[in-house]
Amino acid sequence: MSGSNAVTALTFFHGALARRLDRASRALLEPEDGRAMDFSRAAGEPALGQPTQVSWRVFKNPLTVFIGGVAAVILELAEPRVRTGVWEHTSFRTQPLRRLRRTGLAAMMTVYGPASAAQAMIVGVRRMHARVKGTTPGGEPYCADDPELLNWVQATAAYGFLQAYHTYSKPIPQADRDRYYREGETAARLYGATLPPRSEAELDAAFAAMLPRLEPSPIIFEFLDIMRTTRIVPPVSRALTPAAHLAQPLFVRAAVSLTPPRIRERLGLGPTYGLRPFERALLHQAAALADRIVLHSSPAVQSCQRLGLPADFLYASR
Protein backbone atom coordinates (compact mmCIF):
# COMPACT_ATOMS: atom_id res chain seq x y z
CA MET A 1 0.00 0.00 0.00
CA SER A 2 1.37 3.42 -0.94
CA GLY A 3 1.90 6.10 1.66
CA SER A 4 -1.04 8.15 0.42
CA ASN A 5 -3.34 5.13 0.39
CA ALA A 6 -2.29 4.24 3.94
CA VAL A 7 -3.11 7.76 5.12
CA THR A 8 -6.48 7.59 3.35
CA ALA A 9 -7.27 4.22 4.96
CA LEU A 10 -6.26 5.48 8.41
CA THR A 11 -8.38 8.60 7.98
CA PHE A 12 -11.37 6.49 6.91
CA PHE A 13 -10.93 4.14 9.90
CA HIS A 14 -10.64 7.05 12.32
CA GLY A 15 -13.78 8.68 10.91
CA ALA A 16 -15.75 5.42 10.94
CA LEU A 17 -14.76 4.70 14.54
CA ALA A 18 -15.68 8.24 15.56
CA ARG A 19 -19.15 7.86 14.02
CA ARG A 20 -19.64 4.50 15.74
CA LEU A 21 -18.57 5.80 19.15
CA ASP A 22 -20.76 8.86 18.63
CA ARG A 23 -23.84 6.71 17.99
CA ALA A 24 -23.08 4.45 20.93
CA SER A 25 -22.54 7.44 23.23
CA ARG A 26 -25.88 8.96 22.20
CA ALA A 27 -27.65 5.64 22.72
CA LEU A 28 -26.28 5.25 26.24
CA LEU A 29 -27.33 8.73 27.36
CA GLU A 30 -30.73 8.78 25.65
CA PRO A 31 -33.54 9.00 28.24
CA GLU A 32 -36.70 6.89 28.19
CA ASP A 33 -38.67 9.49 26.22
CA GLY A 34 -36.04 9.48 23.44
CA ARG A 35 -35.27 13.20 23.80
CA ALA A 36 -31.54 13.49 24.31
CA MET A 37 -30.25 16.23 26.59
CA ASP A 38 -28.56 19.03 24.67
CA PHE A 39 -25.59 20.13 26.77
CA SER A 40 -24.84 23.01 24.40
CA ARG A 41 -27.76 24.92 25.92
CA ALA A 42 -28.26 27.36 27.60
CA ALA A 43 -25.47 29.30 25.98
CA GLY A 44 -22.96 30.73 28.41
CA GLU A 45 -24.30 29.09 31.57
CA PRO A 46 -21.42 27.61 33.59
CA ALA A 47 -21.37 24.11 35.04
CA LEU A 48 -20.79 23.29 38.70
CA GLY A 49 -17.07 23.15 37.89
CA GLN A 50 -14.73 24.75 35.39
CA PRO A 51 -13.65 23.27 32.02
CA THR A 52 -10.07 23.32 33.30
CA GLN A 53 -10.90 20.85 36.05
CA VAL A 54 -9.50 17.33 35.91
CA SER A 55 -12.99 15.79 35.83
CA TRP A 56 -13.76 17.49 32.50
CA ARG A 57 -10.90 15.55 30.92
CA VAL A 58 -11.70 12.28 32.72
CA PHE A 59 -15.40 12.12 31.86
CA LYS A 60 -14.93 12.78 28.15
CA ASN A 61 -13.69 9.21 27.56
CA PRO A 62 -16.73 6.92 27.06
CA LEU A 63 -14.76 3.69 27.42
CA THR A 64 -13.14 4.50 30.76
CA VAL A 65 -16.38 6.05 32.05
CA PHE A 66 -18.11 2.69 31.50
CA ILE A 67 -15.28 0.74 33.14
CA GLY A 68 -15.03 3.18 36.02
CA GLY A 69 -18.78 3.12 36.59
CA VAL A 70 -18.78 -0.68 36.89
CA ALA A 71 -15.83 -0.52 39.32
CA ALA A 72 -17.69 2.03 41.45
CA VAL A 73 -20.81 -0.15 41.66
CA ILE A 74 -18.74 -3.19 42.70
CA LEU A 75 -17.41 -1.19 45.63
CA GLU A 76 -20.86 0.19 46.48
CA LEU A 77 -22.43 -3.27 46.51
CA ALA A 78 -19.73 -4.50 48.89
CA GLU A 79 -21.35 -2.44 51.66
CA PRO A 80 -24.47 -4.35 52.87
CA ARG A 81 -26.69 -1.32 53.49
CA VAL A 82 -25.90 0.24 50.13
CA ARG A 83 -26.26 -3.13 48.44
CA THR A 84 -29.73 -3.75 49.88
CA GLY A 85 -30.91 -0.26 48.98
CA VAL A 86 -29.67 -0.52 45.41
CA TRP A 87 -30.96 -4.03 44.80
CA GLU A 88 -34.37 -3.61 46.44
CA HIS A 89 -35.21 -0.04 45.43
CA THR A 90 -33.83 0.36 41.91
CA SER A 91 -34.42 -1.31 38.55
CA PHE A 92 -30.87 -2.63 38.18
CA ARG A 93 -31.93 -6.27 38.18
CA THR A 94 -35.04 -5.97 36.00
CA GLN A 95 -34.13 -3.03 33.72
CA PRO A 96 -30.34 -2.69 33.80
CA LEU A 97 -30.07 -0.60 30.64
CA ARG A 98 -32.61 1.91 31.90
CA ARG A 99 -30.74 2.17 35.18
CA LEU A 100 -27.39 2.55 33.42
CA ARG A 101 -28.75 5.35 31.26
CA ARG A 102 -30.07 7.23 34.27
CA THR A 103 -26.82 6.81 36.15
CA GLY A 104 -24.72 7.85 33.15
CA LEU A 105 -26.84 10.90 32.47
CA ALA A 106 -26.66 11.93 36.14
CA ALA A 107 -22.86 11.69 36.10
CA MET A 108 -22.59 13.74 32.92
CA MET A 109 -25.05 16.33 34.20
CA THR A 110 -23.09 16.70 37.44
CA VAL A 111 -19.82 17.35 35.58
CA TYR A 112 -20.90 19.13 32.40
CA GLY A 113 -24.51 20.27 32.74
CA PRO A 114 -25.60 23.89 33.24
CA ALA A 115 -25.40 24.57 36.98
CA SER A 116 -29.12 25.28 37.32
CA ALA A 117 -30.07 21.99 35.63
CA ALA A 118 -27.46 20.02 37.60
CA GLN A 119 -28.66 21.46 40.91
CA ALA A 120 -32.30 20.71 40.06
CA MET A 121 -31.39 17.13 39.16
CA ILE A 122 -29.48 16.67 42.42
CA VAL A 123 -32.45 17.98 44.42
CA GLY A 124 -34.58 15.33 42.70
CA VAL A 125 -32.05 12.59 43.47
CA ARG A 126 -31.95 13.58 47.14
CA ARG A 127 -35.74 13.65 47.31
CA MET A 128 -35.80 10.11 45.95
CA HIS A 129 -33.07 8.98 48.38
CA ALA A 130 -35.14 10.23 51.32
CA ARG A 131 -37.80 7.63 50.46
CA VAL A 132 -35.36 4.70 50.24
CA LYS A 133 -35.10 2.93 53.57
CA GLY A 134 -35.44 -0.53 54.99
CA THR A 135 -33.57 -3.34 56.72
CA THR A 136 -30.75 -5.48 55.37
CA PRO A 137 -31.04 -9.29 55.38
CA GLY A 138 -28.71 -9.16 58.39
CA GLY A 139 -31.22 -7.01 60.30
CA GLU A 140 -29.42 -3.67 60.00
CA PRO A 141 -31.57 -0.60 59.25
CA TYR A 142 -30.54 1.70 56.43
CA CYS A 143 -31.64 4.89 54.71
CA ALA A 144 -30.24 6.11 51.41
CA ASP A 145 -29.76 9.64 52.72
CA ASP A 146 -27.53 8.47 55.58
CA PRO A 147 -24.38 10.66 55.30
CA GLU A 148 -22.12 7.66 56.00
CA LEU A 149 -23.56 5.81 53.01
CA LEU A 150 -23.49 8.90 50.82
CA ASN A 151 -19.83 9.41 51.72
CA TRP A 152 -19.11 5.84 50.59
CA VAL A 153 -21.04 6.17 47.33
CA GLN A 154 -19.37 9.48 46.47
CA ALA A 155 -15.90 8.12 47.31
CA THR A 156 -16.34 4.96 45.25
CA ALA A 157 -17.73 6.85 42.26
CA ALA A 158 -14.91 9.40 42.31
CA TYR A 159 -12.35 6.60 42.60
CA GLY A 160 -13.82 4.42 39.85
CA PHE A 161 -13.95 7.09 37.15
CA LEU A 162 -10.54 8.57 37.95
CA GLN A 163 -8.78 5.23 38.35
CA ALA A 164 -10.18 3.85 35.09
CA TYR A 165 -8.92 6.86 33.15
CA HIS A 166 -5.56 6.88 34.97
CA THR A 167 -5.03 3.13 34.48
CA TYR A 168 -6.30 2.54 30.96
CA SER A 169 -6.27 5.86 29.10
CA LYS A 170 -3.59 8.26 30.28
CA PRO A 171 -1.62 8.43 33.57
CA ILE A 172 -2.60 11.39 35.71
CA PRO A 173 0.09 12.94 37.93
CA GLN A 174 -0.36 12.62 41.69
CA ALA A 175 -0.95 16.37 42.11
CA ASP A 176 -3.76 16.30 39.54
CA ARG A 177 -5.32 13.21 41.14
CA ASP A 178 -5.43 15.02 44.46
CA ARG A 179 -6.83 18.10 42.73
CA TYR A 180 -9.57 15.95 41.15
CA TYR A 181 -10.82 14.93 44.59
CA ARG A 182 -10.72 18.51 45.90
CA GLU A 183 -12.58 19.78 42.86
CA GLY A 184 -15.31 17.17 43.33
CA GLU A 185 -16.12 18.25 46.89
CA THR A 186 -18.74 20.83 45.86
CA ALA A 187 -20.87 18.37 43.92
CA ALA A 188 -20.40 15.62 46.52
CA ARG A 189 -21.71 17.89 49.26
CA LEU A 190 -24.69 18.86 47.12
CA TYR A 191 -25.55 15.15 46.99
CA GLY A 192 -25.41 15.04 50.78
CA ALA A 193 -21.93 13.68 51.46
CA THR A 194 -20.41 15.23 54.56
CA LEU A 195 -16.84 13.89 54.30
CA PRO A 196 -15.97 13.36 50.64
CA PRO A 197 -12.28 12.56 50.11
CA ARG A 198 -10.22 15.62 49.24
CA SER A 199 -7.08 13.74 48.23
CA GLU A 200 -5.96 10.26 47.30
CA ALA A 201 -4.62 9.80 50.83
CA GLU A 202 -8.04 10.63 52.28
CA LEU A 203 -9.63 8.19 49.85
CA ASP A 204 -7.25 5.42 50.95
CA ALA A 205 -8.13 6.18 54.57
CA ALA A 206 -11.85 6.00 53.79
CA PHE A 207 -11.39 2.61 52.08
CA ALA A 208 -9.37 1.28 55.03
CA ALA A 209 -11.99 2.48 57.53
CA MET A 210 -14.82 0.82 55.58
CA LEU A 211 -12.97 -2.44 54.90
CA PRO A 212 -14.27 -4.28 58.02
CA ARG A 213 -17.85 -3.62 56.89
CA LEU A 214 -17.40 -4.89 53.34
CA GLU A 215 -18.51 -8.43 52.56
CA PRO A 216 -18.95 -10.82 49.64
CA SER A 217 -22.44 -11.37 48.25
CA PRO A 218 -24.07 -13.29 45.40
CA ILE A 219 -25.54 -9.95 44.36
CA ILE A 220 -22.09 -8.70 43.35
CA PHE A 221 -21.64 -11.67 41.03
CA GLU A 222 -25.17 -11.23 39.69
CA PHE A 223 -24.36 -7.60 38.93
CA LEU A 224 -21.20 -8.63 37.07
CA ASP A 225 -23.17 -11.17 35.04
CA ILE A 226 -25.69 -8.46 34.13
CA MET A 227 -22.88 -6.16 33.01
CA ARG A 228 -21.33 -8.92 30.91
CA THR A 229 -24.54 -9.97 29.17
CA THR A 230 -26.79 -6.90 28.92
CA ARG A 231 -26.76 -5.40 25.44
CA ILE A 232 -25.52 -1.98 26.41
CA VAL A 233 -25.62 -0.63 22.85
CA PRO A 234 -29.09 -0.90 21.19
CA PRO A 235 -29.43 -3.15 18.10
CA VAL A 236 -29.14 -0.44 15.43
CA SER A 237 -26.04 1.06 16.98
CA ARG A 238 -24.63 -2.35 17.83
CA ALA A 239 -24.73 -3.26 14.15
CA LEU A 240 -22.42 -0.32 13.62
CA THR A 241 -20.20 -1.28 16.54
CA PRO A 242 -20.04 -5.08 16.34
CA ALA A 243 -17.11 -5.34 18.73
CA ALA A 244 -18.86 -3.39 21.51
CA HIS A 245 -20.98 -6.27 22.78
CA LEU A 246 -18.13 -8.77 22.41
CA ALA A 247 -15.83 -6.50 24.43
CA GLN A 248 -18.19 -6.10 27.38
CA PRO A 249 -16.81 -9.08 29.35
CA LEU A 250 -13.32 -7.62 28.91
CA PHE A 251 -14.49 -4.22 30.18
CA VAL A 252 -16.12 -5.87 33.21
CA ARG A 253 -12.90 -7.67 34.11
CA ALA A 254 -11.05 -4.39 33.62
CA ALA A 255 -13.39 -2.86 36.19
CA VAL A 256 -12.80 -5.71 38.66
CA SER A 257 -9.05 -5.22 38.19
CA LEU A 258 -9.43 -1.66 39.49
CA THR A 259 -10.79 -2.89 42.83
CA PRO A 260 -8.15 -2.38 45.54
CA PRO A 261 -6.46 -5.75 46.23
CA ARG A 262 -7.57 -6.09 49.86
CA ILE A 263 -11.19 -5.37 48.95
CA ARG A 264 -11.06 -7.63 45.91
CA GLU A 265 -9.76 -10.49 48.05
CA ARG A 266 -12.45 -9.86 50.66
CA LEU A 267 -15.16 -10.02 47.98
CA GLY A 268 -13.86 -13.29 46.53
CA LEU A 269 -13.09 -11.83 43.10
CA GLY A 270 -10.36 -14.28 42.15
CA PRO A 271 -7.82 -14.56 39.32
CA THR A 272 -10.46 -15.48 36.72
CA TYR A 273 -11.56 -11.84 36.84
CA GLY A 274 -8.07 -10.59 36.03
CA LEU A 275 -6.67 -9.28 32.77
CA ARG A 276 -4.01 -11.03 30.72
CA PRO A 277 -1.12 -8.86 29.50
CA PHE A 278 -2.31 -8.74 25.88
CA GLU A 279 -5.83 -7.78 27.04
CA ARG A 280 -4.45 -4.95 29.14
CA ALA A 281 -2.44 -3.76 26.13
CA LEU A 282 -5.56 -3.82 23.94
CA LEU A 283 -7.48 -1.85 26.54
CA HIS A 284 -4.73 0.76 26.69
CA GLN A 285 -4.85 1.19 22.91
CA ALA A 286 -8.64 1.36 22.76
CA ALA A 287 -8.93 3.80 25.68
CA ALA A 288 -6.16 6.00 24.31
CA LEU A 289 -7.91 6.14 20.94
CA ALA A 290 -11.28 6.89 22.54
CA ASP A 291 -9.62 9.74 24.41
CA ARG A 292 -8.51 11.38 21.16
CA ILE A 293 -11.74 11.18 19.16
CA VAL A 294 -13.92 14.29 19.35
CA LEU A 295 -17.50 13.05 19.71
CA HIS A 296 -19.73 15.93 18.70
CA SER A 297 -22.79 14.59 20.50
CA SER A 298 -20.91 14.03 23.77
CA PRO A 299 -21.73 16.19 26.82
CA ALA A 300 -18.06 17.15 27.05
CA VAL A 301 -17.94 18.66 23.56
CA GLN A 302 -21.39 20.23 23.73
CA SER A 303 -20.61 21.82 27.10
CA CYS A 304 -17.40 23.36 25.80
CA GLN A 305 -19.40 24.82 22.92
CA ARG A 306 -22.00 26.13 25.37
CA LEU A 307 -19.22 28.08 27.04
CA GLY A 308 -17.79 29.39 23.76
CA LEU A 309 -14.80 27.04 23.75
CA PRO A 310 -13.57 25.03 20.75
CA ALA A 311 -15.08 21.56 20.31
CA ASP A 312 -11.62 20.03 20.78
CA PHE A 313 -10.74 22.09 23.88
CA LEU A 314 -10.52 19.02 26.15
CA TYR A 315 -8.59 17.00 23.58
CA ALA A 316 -5.58 19.28 23.28
CA SER A 317 -2.36 17.91 24.72
CA ARG A 318 -1.88 18.84 28.35
Higher pLDDT: 37 or 20? It is: 37
Q: HEC profile for the chain?
A: CCHHHHHHHHHHHHHHHHHHHHHHHHHHHCCCCCCCCCCCCCCCCCCCCCCCCHHHHHCCCHHHHHHHHHHHHHHHHCCHHHHHHHHHHCCCCCCHHHHHHHHHHHHHHHHHCCHHHHHHHHHHHHHHHCCCEEECCCCCEEECCCHHHHHHHHHHHHHHHHHHHHHHHCCCCHHHHHHHHHHCHHHHHHCCCCCCCCCHHHHHHHHHHHHHHCCCCHHHHHHHHHHHHCCCCCHHHHHHCHHHHHHHHHHHHHHHHCCCHHHHHHHCCCHHHCCCHHHHHHHHHHHHHHCCCCCCCCHHHHHHHHCCCCCCHHHCCC
Whether 13 has a pLDDT exceeding 50, the answer reads no
Question: How confident is the model over 55-83, as pLDDT tens digits?
Answer: 999 999 999 999 999 999 999 999 999 99
Q: What is the mean pLDDT of residues 209-221?
A: 97
Question: For the chain, what are the domain ranges?
Answer: 3-315
